[in-house]
Amino acid sequence: MQEESADKYAQRALDLNLLSQRQLDAIWADLGTRSVTASDFRSILLRKELLTNYQVERLIKGERTGFFYGNYKVQYLVGKGTFARVYRAVAVDNPERVVAIKVLRNQFGDDRNEANRKVMDQFLREGETGMSLRHPNIVPIYEVYSRTKPYFLVMEFIEGNTLRDFMKLRRRLSPLEATELMSGIMSGLACAAQKGLYHRDLKLSNVLISSSGEPKLVDFGLAAEAGGTDEDSVTDRTIDYAGLERASGARRDGPRSDIYFAGCMYYHMLSGKAPLQETKDRIQRLSKTRFQDIPPISTICDDIPQRLAYIVMKSMEFDPERRYQTATDMLTELHSAAKSLREGRIDEATDEATNSVANANIDTIPRTVLVVESAVDLQNTFRAQLKKYGFRVLVMSDAQRALDRFGGDGPEPDCVVFSSIGLGVAAVAAYNQMVQERNTQAIPCILLLDKHHQPWVEKAHKDARHVTMVMPIRMKEFRDTIDRLVNGKPDVRPV
């Protein structure tokens, strides 16, 4: 088949307003002749960035539509789904203005078919809903075009990936990164809830991660208003929500289903594993056991701070009355947890309620060990190893602040470990102060010394409850010592 001439491509681009006559004349002038191959002509268009690959490929195929939507010129395809395609585009009258165009597939614009009409209604509702929401964590919609087919929405263009793609690349996020992303997501949901709107299609693919790392909610096409009913037919997009609500008896006209699926995303980000079994089988997706048989996150990842495990499991409580009741409630806890993570004291605020939820499958209440160590890598090692042994672990970086926590109303730890590896001589001073003060001397305590600090053994008070250990030591020996001290603690402490 003979290739079309460069002249024909040029004329077609001119007829479709993809190139101006001035741009075309400049191309011929640069080439010095019109006797060039179509391939050379296409190459110069791409090299000078006058057209994109998407535009050139459609031009080669002889396509005459899909280059413009309203006052916007399409540059390339961003993504496509069952119902719509999304393109990057620029405003014709202002090429510096970049937007995303979400275009409903043509077959769904046929309103003679009831199923198509429902899809079209959802699409246009997404646009109308999006235009009413302005928040840093919600992708804004600027225009809804519904006069003639094809119908499309004009939105902010986000340079980045979906959270689903982000997780495929990263597998698992750090506690702080996951918590900050979750905070942004919940902040967007809280904003929508203030207007009486609930997302009802929360999943990783409906969160975009911008190039600056900000999460942005998209696709409010299924958003439900307060006072809605459950009379709508269950579709593939609503089936997970329907399964949860039917199994748990939850109402659909509220935030608690969104909170459950937000918790699922947080679970996935922290553990790298999806809590809900992924299946296309409709019966399995509606099954009650699918939502009940989810292992507590602390049983599959023992290095997750218990305060975060508590937030995850509270948001995913099967009983909707035991979940967070509003997005703002969950957001408040996430903000506090993120602050603690940044300050290196995440486990300080874990209380008995936190522990009971995070370790819901454990019959006995674990003993609590407070580790005082400033080196972050050692903090993580202590936390991971002691949790494996069944201890509840609190970590603090400052020796004096650790001492100041005693004497309050909160529960006291069952054992305290002061480590000189990061704290130096401050660990010895804090250890001796704790051993000598009447309100703390009954609490078992270990002074863990770096091998270079062995001479400090003589400065430390020692008895049956208070011991020193010098590195290197085996972790089993360390854990066994804690276990012995904890189990030997009397029931009544001297006053």
Superfamily of domain 164-341: Transferase(Phosphotransferase) domain 1 (1.10.510.10)
Whole-number pLDDT of residue 1: 45
Beta-carbon contacts of 47 under 8 Å, excluding residues fewer than 6 positions away, are none
Structure-derived torsion over alpha carbons of residues 125, 210, 344, 422, reported in degrees to the nearest 10? 160
Nearest CA-CA partner of 493 in 439, 451, 432, 434: 439
| Class of domain 68-156 as given by CATH | alpha beta
CA distance linking residue 472 with residue 329, whole number of Å: 45
CATH number for the domain running over 366-487 = 3.40.50.2300
Whole-number pLDDT of residue 361: 40
Nearest CA-CA partner of 464 in 490, 438, 439: 490
Beta-carbon contacts of 283 under 8 Å, excluding residues fewer than 6 positions away, are none
- DSSP conformation class of 64: -
Whole-number pLDDT of residue 353: 43
Structure-derived torsion over alpha carbons of residues 369, 371, 376, 378, reported in degrees to the nearest 10? -80
Whole-number pLDDT of residue 42: 84
Whole-number pLDDT of residue 351: 44
CA distance linking residue 137 with residue 213, whole number of Å: 11
- DSSP conformation class of 219: -
Q: Please give the structure tokens belonging to residue 291.
A: 């939502």
The H or E element that residue 78 is part of is strand 72-80
Q: pTM (2 decimals)? A: 0.66
Q: Please give the structure tokens belonging to residue 104.
A: 């409903």
Q: What is the pLDDT along the chain (495 residues), one digit of tens a residue?
A: 456 678 888 888 899 989 889 988 888 888 777 777 778 888 888 888 889 999 988 888 888 889 999 999 999 998 887 788 999 999 999 989 999 999 988 778 777 778 788 888 888 888 888 888 899 999 999 999 888 888 899 999 998 889 999 999 999 999 999 999 999 999 999 999 988 888 888 999 999 999 889 999 998 766 654 444 444 445 556 778 888 888 888 777 778 999 999 999 999 999 999 998 776 777 777 788 888 888 889 888 888 898 999 999 999 998 899 999 999 999 999 999 999 998 887 654 444 444 444 444 433 456 789 999 988 778 888 888 887 777 888 888 888 888 887 766 567 788 999 999 989 999 999 999 999 888 888 899 999 999 899 999 999 998 888 999 999 888 888 988 988 888 774 433 332
3-state SS assignment for residue 441: coil
Confirm if 181 and 215 have CB atoms less than 8 A apart.
yes
CA atoms within 13 A on the CB side of 477: 9
Confirm if 398 and 345 have CB atoms less than 8 A apart.
no
The residues that bridge with 301 in the sheet, in sequence order, are none
170-195 b/e (C-beta count within 10 Å ≥ 16 → b): eeebebbbbbbbbbbbbbbbbbbbee
